[in-house]
Amino acid sequence: MIFKNSNFSEQSAWISVIFAIFIAAFYGYGMMQLEGSFSTHAEQIVWLWIETIVVSIVFVIIAFSILSVIKSKNGDDDELGLIDERDEAIEVKATLWAYFNLHFCLTILLVHVFCQSVIVDYPFFSNVPPVDFLIHGLMFAGLLVELVLRATQIYRYRKAA
Amino acid sequence: MTKKAKGIMSNQLRKKRFEKDEMTQQALAKKLGVTRQTIAAIESGKYSPSLEVAFCLADIFATPIDELFQWQANSEGD
């Protein structure tokens, strides 16, 4: 079991990884159902955001409630929320990787929008308007940053530091 | 010119723990205010604690810090 022999921070990281994958799938599915673009169907996209935010909140509440119930059943609930210097050191290293990832994603998004506007017959996502690409791209970039941050944390925890 | 510290840090934490009434990692973690996994990582040499934690450990085991932690510097690049 993934939760065996791990502390609260590592367990939170596992939950966040599952969260990022679940929300990406939810948002991706919602995006497929969208008709038209942001300029013509803005309310649909705004509703998708609202639904995604609500689902995120519900997911986090349920996941952490289950975690706290499991921990109190195992009798180690006094460790709940305890963050020590090793957790902080691991978070700092993971944040650095997440920052690199964010930088990379933003660069890709902006380069794509720039290329789409200046290159005739630009081959990538030519049927998606730049504003829509930016909106959805930013959402996925945020989820990818979260995924990289937590995955790096888990890797560091497994490596022990 | 800066000199980057390179070497191997070892410790006698497990030995000291057993000498102190076979204290568990959990009990030591609770005394220090860290998680049990951090104690396990320190013992296995995979994590080097901060000076504060190292001094607290020395205090708990009533032993000099250099008896608890040892540093073996790499001879390369000297």
Question: Measured between CA atoms, how close is A137 to chain B, in angstroms?
Answer: 38
**Rounded CA separation A27/A12 (Å):** 22
Q: Between A and B, how many CB-CB pairs are < 8 A?
A: 43
B70 touches chain A (CB under 8 A): no
State which residue of chain B sits closest to A8, comparing Cα positions: B35
Tell me the mean pLDDT in the region A87-103.
94
Domain containing residue A19: 8-160
Q: Is residue A2 part of a domain?
A: no
How high is the ipTM of this complex? 0.80
Sequence ranges of the domains in chain B? 7-63
Number of structural domains found in chain A: 1
Taking alpha carbons only, the member of A45, A22, A19 closest to residue A34 is A45
Q: Does B31 touch chain A if contact means CB atoms closer than 8 Å?
A: no
Is residue A62 domain-resident?
yes
Mark yes or no for CB contact A86/B35 under 8 Å. Answer: yes
Residue A153 distance to chain B (closest CA, Å): 14
Phi, psi angles (nearest 5°) of residue A76? -110, 35
The SS3 call for residue A83 is coil
Q: Which residues of A touch B (CB under 8 A)?
A: 5-10, 78-79, 82, 84-87, 157, 159-161
Which of residues B1 and A71 earns the better pLDDT score?
Answer: A71
- What pLDDT is attached to residue A3? 63
Coil/strand/helix, residue B1: coil
Instruction: Report pTM.
Output: 0.82
Q: How far is residue A5's CA from residue A46's CA, in Å, rounded to a whole number?
A: 42
Homologous superfamily of B7-63 in CATH?
Answer: lambda repressor-like DNA-binding domains (1.10.260.40)
Report pLDDT digits (tens) over B16-58: 999 988 899 999 999 999 988 899 999 998 899 999 999 999 9
- Tell me the pLDDT tens digit for each residue of A15-66: 999 999 999 999 999 888 887 777 777 888 888 889 999 999 999 999 989 8
